[in-house]
Structure 1
Amino acid sequence: MRLIIDSFKKLIIFILIILITTFCLRDIALADFNLNVAPADFNSDTQINLNWTSVANAVYYSIARNDVHIANIDVNLDRNYLSFQDTGLIPQTSYSYTLTAVGPNGKAIKSANSTVSTLQMKAPSIVSSYLDINTNEVTLTWVNNSLAARGTIVNKLGGGQIAEVSGRNTSVSFVDPTLTYGVDSQYTIMSIDGNGHSSPSSAPVTIKPITPPVIDASIKSSTVTISWGQHDHIHEFRLERSKYLEDKKKWDSWEIINTKLTKNSTAITDRIDSDGTYRYRLSIDNEKYKGFSNISKPVARLLAPSNLQCVPVDSGRIDLSWNLPSKGNFALKIEKRIDSGSYYTIAVLDSNITTYSDTEGILPNKYYYYRITAYDENGNSASSPVYSIYTGPPSSASNLRLEITSTNKITLNWKDSSSNESGFRVERKVDTGNFVPIATLPANTTSYADNSVNSQSTYTYRVIPFNSAGDASSYTNEVSCTTSILKAPPGSLTVIPLSPTEIELSWRYAGSASYSTIIERRTEDSDTWEMITTLASGYTNYRDTDLLPNTQYFYRVRTNLANRVYSKPYPEKSEGIGAYTYLETPENLTSAWTASGFVKLSWKYESWVNRK
């Protein structure tokens, strides 16, 4: 019996030991389930980071914030199943979290609690600020450093709130009427969340207003001087120019023509190389200031009168005519020289006058020289080219040529060799008849179309200039033709540049036809066609050599019908077919590293003409 009682006591003691051990191990396991909560490092005002220790047999973790369930973290699905980021929170607010580890049967295994507060909103960072010097409008741009920002308040140090921006906008422009030239003003900004929370103020930004420069512009010859008073920030400004578009009747857009004004300078010059009216202004556009000076008064280059013509009307009178400059405030004076004497003014005219008759001492068989000068109140002047005129008979015209346009039309072309003719008389004879006048043409005429011809007759032409002193000493050369020899010009022309000094031409006649061909050429700055060669029948290409590099040439071709008799040109359009010769290419490019840290480039330039 005693043995049985001892065995029972031992069993009871063993069971108690097992229960105590199990209870202790459970407490140890519960103590190992830790929940850590803290504001995030970057978004500390809107984000709480949670992390915890692993619980054996847990299949997911349930998270509640302020007793409201917000997330389940699945051990088998989520990559980071021991942490959670709670975002979108309110700054400076306390939050209580409960984390529960849940087993496969859906029952809680363990739970833990913790409380933490978000921090104050982070201050925004101003990244740029500038002032419109014309309107005193301040523009600030910043970066919102808080995700809770739902507005921004702008404060002026010493002046309180000056502007407020709603939403997450990151720039604002406002006019500060209290700004004073040369006096610093400082501004700060702070973020607000709309729930009564705000960030600290940003670092202040300083703006110091400056006055816009006041400029003036004047012109002398073709040089414009733009001037202004002393200005401490003038080297930060740029010079801009605008041209008036006569055809569109408006000012063109502004173009920057100088970006490097000298510090402490008070003037700069601009050279105008072309016709037109211009205006100027200074502009500034940097990280501190934006704006413009006033716009200068318009200035125009004074141009010379053009196309001066002088005609001896009778033995004691010479008529002058000219074209006026297109713009400007000017007056005109007519200057005259006799033979080898000096120029003197014979008339002063208003700017709208385009003709004048000189009757002062005009004698026969003398040379008179005229020029028309435009001048203004600033001392600028510009004169036309001198026109010389002889009061004796004109010089003979030359180089008469005929163009058979159709069986009923012949066009005459000749060279005007005189400057004093009153007109030209065209004479014609039919077959073996006598020459009779068929047209009297005005001065400076160089062509005439005869539409009263047929293909059965032969026509011979000659031309003579005349004036009040009589006819020229001789007629032009005589040229004869019949329209029955009419042939079409080539039907195509190709113009291809080969080098800086060569252009190749090729052409084709219709069908299998092939005739003697005339090639004509003009340059880009001339309207006069020059006959450069006549090729025999059978030739369909030609290489034009000894040309200038990087120059545009125009070409056209004709059929050579007889001596000084041609077809109409191909193409008939006045500009012909053009092509540019090539640019000359520099050679032997070398490079060398210099001690100062630069790379020096050098090359050799040899004219293409010298290499031939």
Structure 2
Amino acid sequence: MTLGARWTSLLLVGLGSTALLTACSDQPLEPVIEAAASGSTVQPPSNAKVAAPSPSQIDISWQVNSSNEAGFEVWVALTAQGTYSLWITTAPNVTAKSFTGQNPGQEYCAKVRAFTALGQSGKVRAYSAFSTSACATTPIPAGPSKIAARPLSSSYVEITWSNDIGFAVSNFRVERSTDQGATWATLVKTDPYTTRTVDFGVAAEHPQLCYRVIAIMSFGESTPSKVACTTPPSGPTNLTATGVAGPAIALAWTDNSAVEDAYQVLRAPDQVTFTVVATLPANSTSYRDAGGSPDTRYWYQVRATKDSGFSDASNTANAVAATQPPAAPTGVDAYPGGSTAVVVIWAEPSTNEDGFRIERSTDGQATWVVAVRADASQTGFTDGDRASEQPVCYRVIAFNGLGDSPPSNVDCTTPPAAPSDLVATTVAGNEIDLTWTDHSAFEDGYEVDRVDCYYDDYNGYYCYDTPLATLEANVTSYRDQGLPTGVFVTYEVVALKDNGRSDPSNQAGASSDLPPPAPSNLTATAASAGQIDLAWTNTSTTPEYIAIERCDGGMGTCADPAAAWTFVAWTDLDATTFSDTGLLAGATYTYRVLACTPGGGACSDPSNLASASTP
């Protein structure tokens, strides 16, 4: 074997084995190539085992069968048939090694051989045969722990978990099952820092909603977490609160859930800061709260609980744990809110009422019936479906759990019938005359309103009324004077009674200007296959715009009062000619023109008709 001038080879014999030493002349005692012994000088280890106690660790052990080994080599492959590579060299008498930082879900196979040192330097090794290989697979990491699912309302579920995988997580995948775990679907995929999500829009009382979480890592996925299930309960409804003797407040509600664990009663002194004051068994529908201060108003809500979560809250109800009946309301005022409605308002001098009872009389206060019951926060009520022209009286009584207050003062009113047949007529001098029909025998007077309408992108189309005049009862006309030139004004009229008002009349409008005289001598001449030229005479002495209108057809067709006319264009001020272009060839068209005052004012009657046919 030729190695070159600087290399020397030596065959060693007679040491119980034969070894080939190859060395470099620069370092004669440092072998560069080590060769296995050709005889058996060290016994191979046996009973090699590989264990994977965690997703990131493998333990390799073996049995030592020799007493003269210098150490052991542990060779590892990623499959039983894979390529083995040296992982570590140990000291003699070592029987096990552990390796951490391994990949989960990976098979690891190991075999071990012993070696002994030869020669003066001990740099030459004689190797035993390899042990039988052994394999083990690191387990997949367990899914996130501490998973919990709880309702946040009757239609939301909160899912939480802990990020304790022990490996770098890329994402968490939250899965939901609606069939008790038979099938699973992805609800959401979160970032690695999120350990909470909310399932929106679920159905209350769903038989069961189950959730699990899977961690996604660079090398694969964890096993699914444990499963957490819940059912959002339906919220209670129809909560009422009534002050009762004690003093205390009696609560009652409707139980709408079949899955709740319990009910929570919440109380607030200010309609905002609710705190739990009682937890009641499932199916509860009432509670008596004696824990508040006497003669103090409290607001209440009730909610069903489930799996440490809760349903939608009930409506809010309030009451006072009163020690005496409330004082009588004062300042009752009744006035028409239209021709068939009455508005009733009052003042509350006491603070311990549970509500108000508004009573109505239509027979001169001989008898009273309840019109409505209002809660303690109300100081007004609109009584609809009243008959116009019919007197009606009202009184208000406050109540709590200890009884009624005395009745308030009585106030009466009569909803007046609405005026009708409103007509607006332009007269000379920029004035408009209004007339209407009076239908009421009870009105205190009439109010004339101007109606202004607008449009914008935010509000859309809207109108509001501006009062122009207040007139005495039975008046049926009014003249609006001093109007600017060229405006169109819309009006309505209402009857007044006891600081209230009837329904409005119909609306009527007119221009502030008398219409100009109609243009005359209109002619139409075909100028080309697509154009007809018009000419006319202005007969007005004031500036005016001309509105051009066209009818498809000849004079006979378009003279019919039912003929369809199309607006074509406005001319410049005081124009006497116009060219209508873009017409069809071989078609007959009829025209008329109208003179209109500037600013959207009045328009004249139409001119004479003129026809022409394009060639």
Q: Which band: TM-score by shorter chain?
A: 0.3 to 0.5
The structure with the largest helix share of the pair is 1
Structure 1 length normalisation: TM-score? 0.39
Structure 2 length normalisation: TM-score? 0.39
